[in-house]
Amino acid sequence: MSSIRKRSIGIGSYKTSVSLEDEFWKCLQHIALTHGKTLGEQIAEINANRGYANLSSAIRLFILRYYLDQLDQQQRRDLSVITAFEFNQIRRPLSGSV
């Protein structure tokens, strides 16, 4: 079972606390590093774009969207490889045909 960790985060000129499960903290750290940002910078960006959701919920939704986008991109790459393979199979003359 995952434990929930509360961290104090500075966003601009104010501090707030965010409670997330360990797995979400790890995912958020990975995403921030992937984008060359600190954890605080990543959270500030999420906060600026969050609308009306509370910050913890906005972070979870951001992480979900990030990984769904990654999955979608991988499926598109896989599809393009399959399509290219099928196209090459169609263009290749059958052996023994004139």
- Please report the domains of the chain, with CATH numbers, ordered by start residue: 4-91 (1.10.3990.20)
Average pLDDT over residues 31-48: 95
The reported pTM is 0.75
Distance CA 62, CA 45 (A): 10
For residue range 49-85, list pLDDT tens digits in order: 988 779 999 999 999 999 999 888 877 777 666 666 6
Asked if 16 and 55 touch (Cβ cutoff 8 Å), the reply is yes
H-helix segments, the chain: 22-34, 39-48, 55-91
Name 11's bridge partners: 14
**Residue 86 confidence (pLDDT):** 62
Tell me what the pLDDT averaged over the chain comes to: 84
